[in-house]
Amino acid sequence: MARVFLIVMDSVGCGGAPDAAAFGDEGANTLGHIAQACADGCAETGRSGPLHMPVLDGLGLGAAIRLASGVEAPGLGAVPQGRWGAATEVSRGKDTPSGHWELAGVPVPWDWTYFPDTRPAFPADLVAQVCALAGTGGILGNCHASGVPIIAEHCEAHLRTGWPICYTSADSVFQIAAHEEAFGLERLLTLCADLAPTLHAMKVGRVIARPFTGGCGDFRRTANRKDFAIAPPADTLLDVAAQAGRATHAVGKIGDIFSMRGIGTLHKGKSDADLFEHLLRLTEEAEPGSLTFANFVEFDSLYGHPRDVAGYARALEWFDAQAGQMLRRLQPGDLAVFTADHGNDPTWRGTEHTRERVPVLCAGAGVGALGLCGFTDVAATVAAHLGLTSPGPGRNLI
């Protein structure tokens, strides 16, 4: 039986979303702008020269960027030897749950709740609930912020008072940062788990635990981050596969994003390098007829939000080399799909995700253009390859 590996390169957008202006993102293009910066010699830290991604470009990455946005990305001009296209999202958001759920066949049917960019950002009754659950006299932060700067700003006060650092962003999230030893990792995770039902009822997509260690001058966020995401509103591709008796494997934070629904085996790691080791192993060991759904988050978390163009380029080139190893291990009949959930253009203003189309690259399905498509078409294509009924309204692209 055929197997499918659905691989999300978190935030690796390719521009051109038709509604980008409504999100303040008209002209954003994660891949296109990184490639241009590399060609211009503006991304030389730890790497050099034009963006080098021969494996994914060979499947059609450069062609997908041209299709999505009309941009000729320097260094990505290969003649495609795989199936390639660019997908457009219909859910009204540019966040992780929206993108992943829609790729799994289920667009978001509601408007997410976003907190205002004010000080304070959170309503008083929510703050009171956080304090009651945490057993503290207050919270720190209470504003829109990026993770590293807000911890740096409030680290000393956090260690002195024990108050959690609470912040949000342009996404539908409530994030809580706390010191793993001084506050306690389990205490932080329990706080987030207990608070999540209230936030989910408000249609806030995720409560995110952001633990860190070290002193105020040398703190670092750890790999013990945990997302408490609202459950998908309907059965997704994972549910359909599991209900049909297929083995399902979740690599990375897929388990968090889908609230563990439809997931048979979870494969976690402290880095994308750890996660790719799982993926390489699964290409050899995953059961016939199985679905492996993987997320590689460091493009987004380590390089997109901090606006680190050179770091993002290094990560793309590393990932491309790993993808080559994976493709060589595929078995006859396997389908590998490389795509993304949204953009996070490191050349863009601010620190938030960007509304973009995403590449759809397929290995194991012949050669040819897939055209402009929808996120739900990815789910329909995967379902068809597995001999399953698609959970949503998409069409099989192959």
DSSP structure class, residue 343: B
Is 305 one of the annotated binding-site residues? Answer: yes
Given a cut of 90, is residue 379 above it in pLDDT?
A: yes
For the stretch 252-290, pLDDT in tens is 999 999 999 999 999 999 999 999 999 999 999 999 999
What does 163-228 look like in DSSP terms, one character per residue? --EEEE-SSSEEEEEEEIIIIIHHHHHHHHHHHHHHHHHTT--EEEEEEEES-TTT-EE-TT-EEE
The CA angle 8-9-13, to the nearest 5 degrees, is 110
Mean of per-residue pLDDT scores for the chain: 97
Domains 4-109+233-386 and 124-228 share a fold: no
Residue 171 has pLDDT above 90, yes or no: no
Mean per-residue pLDDT for 334-342? 98
Mean pLDDT over residues 367-394, rounded?
A: 97
102 token code pair: 């829609």
Q: How many residues does the chain have?
A: 398
**What's the pLDDT tens digit per position in 12-58?**
999 999 999 999 999 999 999 999 999 999 999 999 999 999 999 99
- Annotated binding residue 25: no
- Residue 170: pLDDT over 90: no
Neighbours of 201 (CB within 10 A): 10
Whether the per-residue pLDDT at 93 is higher than 90: the answer is no
Across 374-378, average pLDDT: 98
pTM passes above 0.95 = no
The percentage of residues in the chain with a pLDDT greater than 90, rounded to a whole number, is 95
Give me the pLDDT at residue 360, please.
98
- Is 33 annotated as a binding-site member? no
Residue 342 marked as a ligand binder: yes
Q: In the chain, what are the domain boundaries?
A: 4-109+233-386, 124-228
Q: What is the mean pLDDT of residues 299-314?
A: 96
Q: In this predicted structure, what is the pLDDT of residue 189?
A: 98
Question: Which tokens hold the place of 132?
Answer: 């009651």
Helix or strand holding residue 296 (H, E): strand 291-296
Contact 74, 336 (CB under 8 A): no
Q: What is the mean pLDDT of residues 168-175?
A: 91
Asked if residue 158 belongs to a known ligand binding site, the reply is no
Domain at 4-109+233-386, CATH homologous superfamily: Alkaline Phosphatase, subunit A (3.40.720.10)
Residue 353 is labelled as binding a ligand: yes
Q: Class assignment of domain 124-228? A: alpha beta
pLDDT digits (tens, 9 = 90+) for 54-90: 999 999 999 999 999 999 999 999 999 999 999 999 9
Task: List pLDDT tens digits, range 201-226.
Answer: 999 999 999 999 999 999 999 989 99
pLDDT digits (tens, 9 = 90+) for 109-159: 999 999 999 999 999 999 999 999 999 999 999 999 988 899 999 999 999
Could you tell me which of 17, 1, 13 has the C-alpha nearest to residue 339? 13
